[in-house]
Amino acid sequence: DRPNDTGLSRKHVTEQCHHSLRRLGTDYIDLYQCHRYDEDTPLEETCRVMDDLIRAGKVLYWGVSEWSADQIAHAVSICRTEGWALPASNQPQYSALWRQIEDRVLPTCEDLGLGNVVWSPLAMGILTGKYTSVDDVPEGSRAAGGDAKFMDRYFNSDVLDAVAETKSVADEAGCTLSQLALAWCLRQDFVSSVIVGATKTEHVDDNVAAADLDLGDEVIDAFDELLEPVAAS
């Protein structure tokens, strides 16, 4: 990449916004998120360019992704002081097995009015129940490919055994384990929406159905109690 092809500088953010508008064939972007904090660009510059894009009608709302609580708070402070558009969303990693943002990031977002659109709500597929043993990795699965190194935190007997126990909770509730895991995320007051991936059409149908599940607190609590002890927090 060339020097200006990365980061959150005015030049790069503006150019990428224009590229996105052209590729999408639209006049504006509903939500434009700044992925990863850029240590090499003054935060004021990033906040200003997002405000400029909103004032120009090219973006409706802007947000952040994978920023720390302090970075989010600093951005909001700058925007309030300057009268610029405030960030409206945060895109963090979050699932019943990954709760590291509960301590500071989520309270900060709640205090400052940012909604959370969480990614990896199925913990890279672990919460689908497809993985049953560290010694039995399905061929063609994420754990069998290049993403395996990112799954080390989950791929151990303690986690897989706990996930296996949650299957009975899902069965009794009349839903799939994936649906239960997504419903658990959506039940959290601070979660606005979830981002899921799919390799088959039926996966999409299964995931969408989670939004309509009417599960009692006892189901959500049972699922939570089984996974909380082995979750990253």
Strands, E assignment, the chain: 29-35, 59-65, 89-91, 115-119, 191-195
CATH code of 92-233, in short, is 3.20.20.100
pLDDT digits over 59-101, tens only? 999 999 999 999 999 999 999 999 999 999 999 999 999 999 9
Q: What tokens does 15 get?
A: 């150019």
pLDDT digits over 145-193, tens only? 556 666 677 878 999 999 999 999 999 999 999 999 999 999 999 999 9
Q: Where are the domains of the chain?
A: 1-91, 92-233
Residue 122 CA, distance from chain mean position: 10
For CA atoms 144, 145, 146, 151, the dihedral sign is: negative
